[in-house]
Every structure is written in C-alpha cells, then in structure tokens.
Amino acid sequence: MFARRAPDAAYRRSQAAVGLPVPPGAVARGLAIRVLEAPDDHRERRRLGQLLLDELSAAAGLIRVELLVADRPQVHEHDGRRLQSKTYGYYRCWFAEAAVSRAHIRVYHRTAVRRQVISAKVFLNTMLHEWVHHYDFAALRLPRSPHTTGFYARLRALAEALEVGFVLPPEPDAPGRPLAGSTASSPGLAG
C-alpha cells in the first residue's frame, strides 16, 4: 500500500516540545472566560478573541496574529448523504528573512450543514489550536506545524493554564475522563 516516510526534523522537534508554550497571566485567563461567556455575535467573539491572542502573543514574544471570524458555514465536503469533512478554522503565515512577518487565524462561525452558530467552546478550542500553530512557526521556528502528540500536549497545557481545559476533547488514552464539555478538535491548515 502506502509506505510511511520517516519523521523529519520538524516532526521530531514538534513531538519533543511538550511544555506550556507561554505562561498566561490573569488577563489572558479572564479573556478566555469572557470568550466563553460572549454572545453568539461574530463581531464580539472576534473582538474578545483578538484581545486574548494579543495577550498570548505578547507574553510569548511573538508578532501579532490577526483573528478573522467568518460569519459563514465551515468549509466542508458532503457526498449528498453524509458530511465527509469540515474545517473549523486555519492558520496562515508569511515569512520574511526566515521569520514570520505576518499571520492570521480564520475561524468559521457557523456549522457546516445546519449553518448554526458554533458553540463558544468550539470557537475557543479552534482559536487556541490555531494559535499553537502560530507558536510553532514563530517561536519554535518550525518549517511546518504537524499535528503530533507534542502539538496536542502544548495545546492541552495552554488550555489548562488558561483554566479552560474543559473546552478540549478528552485525551484518547485517558479512560474514565468525563466526556461532558468535550468538543472536536479543529483540523488546522497551517500555512
């Protein structure tokens, strides 16, 4: 069938970096809670989300990442009977002199098929997921940001430090962990 290629240096570095990307302060923790309590309005979520991203990026010494909240359904594929895939959001960055010079995160504000506003937990989970891609490119200087167990360890450490770990899905190897409050993880398209 298909041969698996050996993990490259970016994959190994991503896998090895399992610690907290940035110790968030009280302001960032408060903003994360405010994002969860915000109304379903995409403009207010974008405003609060941008403040949170600015706090995280400043604490980590990274360039600002712009948050775009698209008040439209998630990009998806449907075979006429079932949803095949969907994109919660994505990260994109541009480089100048081997460093990230500009970046943005896009989060889709409506569900793929029913076009309902996404829950605050999914919104925050997606935003944090994509910010970890920003951290990978801008701080770790990875040439790509693969979804390794190290990536998810960084995401989980960040959510737990923000005191919103409940927005993430339970770890697959954590038997007995409660499923209440879990959400699907966003398949970020790191650029």
**What's the CA gap between 75 and 86, in Å, rounded?**
6
Task: Check whether 191 has a pLDDT greater than 60.
Answer: no
Q: Give the sign of the dihedral formed by CA 186, CA 188, CA 31, CA 170.
A: positive
Structure tokens that stand for 83 in this block: 């949803």
Mean pLDDT value of segment 127-146 = 97
**Is 80 exceeded by the pLDDT of residue 178?**
no
Q: How far apart are CA 187 and CA 171, in angstroms?
A: 16
Name the token pair of 146.
């693969």
Among the ranges given (91-100, 107-116, 165-174), the one the predictor scored with the smallest mean pLDDT: 165-174
How many contiguous H segments (helices) and E segments (strands) does the chain have?
5, 5
Residue 6 confidence (pLDDT) = 75
Give the mean pLDDT of 106-110.
96
Query: Residue 93: which pLDDT band, with cuts at 50, 70 and 90?
Result: very high
User: 182 falls in which pLDDT band (50, 70, 90)?
Assistant: very low
Tell if the pTM clears 0.75, that is, is over it: yes
> What pLDDT score was predicted for residue 176?
44
Torsion from C-alpha of 50, 69, 41, 82, nearest 10 degrees? -140
